């Protein structure tokens, strides 16, 4: 944009974004009212691709599913990647917004579910478009190559790996750093949260089948009731955290789903549990998994079951390691944020117990430095992530776009 100051945190960039805001808010409403589940982001990816093409980028669709890659080459210099996630959640929206989602889709188990952007991915994509427009407008202020990606299947923590497997780093310019952010309702609107090294937890999702010997409810003594065995296992799992994990460590164990049986008077042969664990350190992850197996086997043995009927544990693909920011890149970006916003708006935060697959973009050979930060959206009424009432103020788009631009210019500035 002719006339923009060479000072990359000039108020003129904010003015540019404010002029773009009506268009960006309209786009945000489109994304919000047309959510799509993980792996089914066909409309979403097409809409994002069209916006990035209109902003002057060379766009490729269908990377690792419905992934989008947009490239702008601007002379010799570093290669930087900015990432936004695209998928939504199987949640029925209850925000009351005029652009409330009424979308229903079939999930990967064939069930018809309501769908909602309850995790801010609609805002992430819109902010990426805002940053894309600014970076094209101020091409005289930076040099190198900017790669923007729309990632599918973040909620299933599989999209990053699929994009890499589909040639993200071989078919397109390989980045020297990857940047992303997430809206944060726990932080006040207008603030930024950052942290070097560990910033979010690792997570493992487990399918556990608790077996028994079924039979008639009139003769429970002739059975080995898996419902009772499963109940004992669930309660015993809770003592793993309180009695086996050091209080200095972060560890969470959740039994989120229990299914089994079809008839009031028929004791089933098995019960299915869906379990999630979260951790900051690999050793804690290993300790949790060992304890989960030992507790299950022990309770099954005490119920008189033979080893072939002990619980089976399957770690499903919805599992990711902790996200660890590169200290050097994160320090540079955080310093730029501090120069622009000051210490009142830029906060050093504790690691989150949430998890996601952004770290996979850096976990390649050779490793790529990553930086993941949080943009506050908490105004007291926006709800929390994954809530049916999650409704951040769309005006955060301007701030989120701006912080992406600041990070990009810090790493691509002609003065660097």
188 and 123 within one domain: yes
187 and 148 within one domain: yes
305 and 182 within one domain: no
Q: In whole angstroms, how far apart are CA 263 and each of 147, 228, 266, 268, 322?
A: 55, 16, 5, 8, 42
Write down the pTM of the prediction: 0.93
Q: Are strands 104-106 and 112-114 parallel, antiparallel or unpaired?
A: antiparallel
Q: Which two tokens stand for residue 413?
A: 């500035």
Taking each helix axis from N to C terminus, what angle separates 282-302 and 226-244, rounded to the nearest 10 degrees?
140
Q: Decide which of 265, 285, 315 is a domain's last residue.
A: 315
Dihedral sign (CA 101, 276, 349, 135):
negative
pLDDT of residue 317: 85
In a domain, 4, yes or no: no
Per the CB < 8 A criterion, the answer to whether 356 and 154 are in contact is: yes
**Which CATH number belongs to the domain containing residue 248 in this structure?**
3.30.70.360
Q: Which two tokens stand for residue 209?
A: 């089948």
pLDDT of residue 7: 55
118 and 33 within one domain: yes
Task: Provide long-range contacts, Cβ within 8 A and 24+ apart, for 314-317.
Answer: 314/206, 314/207, 314/208, 315/204, 315/205, 315/206, 315/289, 316/205, 316/206, 316/207, 317/156, 317/157, 317/158
Annotate 181-212 with b (16+ C-beta within 10 A) or e (fewer): bbbbbebebbbbbbbbebbbbbbbbbebbbbb
| Strand segments (E) across 154-302 | 177-188, 192-194, 197-200, 202-211, 215-216, 251-259, 266-267, 270-279
pLDDT by residue for the chain (416 residues), tens digit each? 333 334 555 677 888 999 999 999 999 999 999 999 999 999 999 999 999 999 999 999 999 999 999 999 999 999 999 999 999 999 999 999 999 999 999 998 899 999 999 999 999 999 999 999 999 999 999 999 999 999 999 999 999 999 999 999 999 999 999 999 999 999 999 999 999 999 999 999 999 999 999 999 999 999 999 999 999 999 999 999 999 999 999 999 999 999 999 999 999 999 999 999 999 999 999 999 999 999 999 999 999 999 999 999 999 988 899 999 999 999 999 999 999 999 999 999 999 999 999 999 999 999 999 999 999 999 767 889 999 999 999 999 999 999 999 999 999 975 54
pLDDT of residue 415: 54
300 and 187 within one domain: no
336 and 273 within one domain: no
Cα dihedral angle (136, 137, 141, 146), rounded to 10 degrees? -10
257 and 142 within one domain: no
Distance CA 313, CA 289 (A): 9
Q: Decide which of 275, 293, 315 is a domain's last residue.
A: 315
pLDDT of residue 380: 67
pLDDT of residue 5: 35
Which region, left, alpha or beta, applies to residue 221 given φ > 0 means left and ψ of -120 to 50 means alpha? alpha
Distance of CA 2 to the CA centre of its chain: 36
Q: Which two tokens stand for residue 112?
A: 């018809």
In a domain, 304, yes or no: yes
Range of the domain at 142: 11-199+322-412
333 and 185 within one domain: yes
Q: Decide which of 256, 290, 315 is a domain's last residue.
A: 315
In a domain, 3, yes or no: no
* SS3 of residue 200 by DSSP: strand
Q: Which residues contact 86 (CB under 8 A, 6 or more apart)?
A: 36, 41, 44, 45, 48, 66, 68, 121, 125, 150, 151, 152, 154
Rounded (5°) CA angle 86-157-58: 40
Distance CA 223, CA 230 (A): 14
Nearest residue to 410 via CA among 64, 141, 83: 141
In a domain, 181, yes or no: yes
126 and 99 within one domain: yes
139 and 50 within one domain: yes
Distance CA 250, CA 198 (A): 12
354 and 267 within one domain: no
Number of domains the chain is built from: 2
In a domain, 390, yes or no: yes
194 and 48 within one domain: yes
Per the CB < 8 A criterion, the answer to whether 181 and 375 are in contact is: yes
**Which CATH number belongs to the domain containing residue 70 in this structure?**
3.40.630.10
Residue recorded with tokens 């099954």? 300
Q: Which two tokens stand for residue 10?
A: 């000039």
Residue recorded with tokens 């970076």? 135
In a domain, 358, yes or no: yes
pLDDT of residue 200: 97
């Amino acid at each position: 944009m002719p006339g923009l100051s060479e000072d990359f945190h000039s108020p003129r960039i904010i003015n540019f974004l404010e002029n773009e805001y009506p268009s960006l808010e309209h786009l945000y409403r489109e994304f919000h009212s047309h959510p799509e589940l993980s792996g089914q982001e066909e409309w979403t990816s097409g809409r994002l691709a069209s916006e990035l093409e209109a902003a002057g980028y060379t766009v490729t669709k269908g990377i690792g599913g419905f992934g989008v890659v947009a490239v702008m080459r601007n002379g010799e210099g570093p290669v930087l990647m900015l990432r936004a996630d695209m998928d939504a959640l199987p949640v029925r929206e209850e925000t009351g917004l005029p652009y409330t989602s009424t979308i229903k889709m079939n999930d990967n188990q064939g069930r018809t579910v309501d769908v909602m952007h309850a995790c801010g991915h609609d805002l992430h994509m819109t902010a990426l478009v805002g940053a894309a427009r600014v970076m094209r407008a101020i091409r005289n202020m930076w040099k190198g190559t900017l790669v923007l990606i729309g990632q599918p299947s973040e909620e299933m923590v599989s999209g990053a790996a699929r994009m890499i497997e589909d040639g993200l780093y071989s078919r397109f310019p390989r980045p020297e750093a990857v940047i992303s952010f997430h809206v944060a309702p726990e932080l006040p609107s207008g603030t930024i949260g950052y942290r070097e090294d560990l910033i979010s937890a690792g997570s493992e999702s487990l399918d556990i089948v608790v077996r028994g010997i079924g039979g008639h409810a009139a003769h429970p003594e002739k059975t080995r009731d898996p419902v009772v065995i499963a109940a004992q296992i669930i309660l015993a799992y809770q003592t793993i955290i309180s009695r086996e994990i050091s209080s200095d460590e972060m560890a969470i164990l959740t039994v989120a789903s229990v299914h089994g049986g079809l008839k009031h008077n028929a004791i089933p042969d098995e019960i299915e549990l869906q379990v999630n664990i979260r951790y900051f350190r690999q050793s804690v992850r290993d300790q949790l998994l060992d304890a989960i197996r030992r507790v299950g086997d022990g309770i099954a043995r005490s119920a008189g079951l033979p080893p072939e009927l002990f619980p089976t544990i399957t770690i499903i693909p919805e599992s990711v390691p902790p996200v660890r920011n590169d200290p050097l890149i994160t320090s540079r970006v955080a310093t730029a944020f501090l120069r622009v916003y000051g210490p009142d708006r830029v906060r050093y935060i504790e690691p989150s117990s949430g998890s996601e697959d952004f770290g996979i973009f850096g976990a390649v050979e050779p490793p790529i430095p990553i930086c993941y930060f949080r943009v506050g959206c908490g105004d007291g009424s926006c709800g929390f992530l994954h809530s049916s009432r999650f409704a951040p103020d769309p005006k955060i788009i301007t701030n989120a776009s701006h912080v992406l631009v600041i990070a990009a210019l810090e790493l691509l500035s002609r003065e660097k």
